Structure 1
């Protein structure tokens, strides 16, 4: 029988995974952070689900690179920064408050700097490759 704690971890893993999938197509919605949360929660509730995420052809390499090296693949960095730039453009055109615009643009800019300054995986694995150590 499943414990309440295990059920909660599994539920969190599935919700995070679904949010990550939505983030693939929706600007301003992150993908990788939800996948990292999903694999963390799944590791505690369903190791088989966690392994499935790690082996996923689209997300697995990025998750494994982060878990092993705290690294973000170069291509993922590029896609993330492009999406942040797109998000900033949308915010600048749609948010009426100058203070809110400034806060959001500053926050997204700092996030972009953080992403770019993370190391790249040693073996070059990442999204859009089939390399997983």
Structure 2
């Protein structure tokens, strides 16, 4: 049983680390990895879960998502802006072709999905 808890915590720590990198790197989605980190931490270490939720840069976003399935406007604008930057970089580095088109199409789908999420009721 201790090994299972260690694995949950290890996955949570890895997801949290990737999520933190996603704050600075446009191609990594922060929120998804933070949600995975919170879920895994809740299975392995409630203390680690509480620590993740207490981080000022991600805690409120996680709580809002879990309670309302909503994303605040500043987070949406930042995410969509980073996705657009990623699309530009992808198009520039890969040039024309199916790989570039496929990646940019996926980025557009993600950006549209993000942009159409509701905003938290507390921010309206």
Q: Which has the higher contact order (CA 8 A, sep 6+)?
A: 1
The CA RMSD measured in Å over matched residues stands at 1.4
Residue 85 of structure 1 aligns with which residue? 84
More helix by share: 2
Residue 129 of structure 1 aligns with which residue? none
Aligned mates of 1:9, 1:67 — CA distance in 2:
20
Residue 117 of structure 2 aligns with which residue? 118
Residue 47 of structure 2 aligns with which residue? 48
Query: Normalized against structure 2, the TM-score is what?
Result: 0.94
Q: Provide Cα deviations, 1:25-64, integer angstroms capped at 9, x if missing partner.
A: 1121111111111001001111111111112111100011
Aligned mates of 2:108, 2:88 — CA distance in 1:
12
Aligned mates of 2:50, 2:58 — CA distance in 1:
12
Residue 29 of structure 1 aligns with which residue? 28
Aligned mates of 1:25, 1:117 — CA distance in 2:
23
Runs of 4+ in 1 over 4 A off after TM superposition: none
Pairs aligned (count): 124
Structure 1: segments with no counterpart, 5+ residues: 125-133
C-alpha displacement at 1:97, in angstroms? 5.0
Structure 2: segments with no counterpart, 5+ residues: none
Residue 109 of structure 1 aligns with which residue? 108
C-alpha displacement at 1:67, in angstroms? 1.1
